[in-house]
Amino acid sequence: MPKAKSHHVVPAIDGGWSVIKEGSDRASRRFPTKDAAVSWGRKQSMKSRSDLVIHRRDGMVVDRDRYGSDPRDSKK
């Protein structure tokens, strides 16, 4: 089964924030605040069982939340 693509919360050019799905050239949705983008991105990541990667204004990753299966879990 292919791994779900991550969602990234990134700064937008206009000063707002965007949520971009990994591998996409365009934002899934844009928001005026980082909190709003993180909230919506978290919901999308939970639905698709993927990672949410949160970036700072300078592009550095500050947080990563995993909502899919944990690859460290042992298969019993």
Distance CA 29, CA 74 (A): 36
Q: β-strands 61-66, 51-55: how paired?
A: antiparallel
pLDDT for position 4: 75
pLDDT for position 70: 63
Q: Please report, for the chain, the start and end positions of each structural domain, with discontinuous segments joined by +.
A: 7-66
Give me the sign of the Cα torsion angle 23, 38, 36, 11.
negative
- pLDDT category at 10 given cuts 50, 70, 90 is very high
At 11-45, the pLDDT tens digits run 998 899 999 999 999 999 999 999 999 999 999 99
What is the residue-averaged pLDDT of the chain? 89
pLDDT for position 43: 97
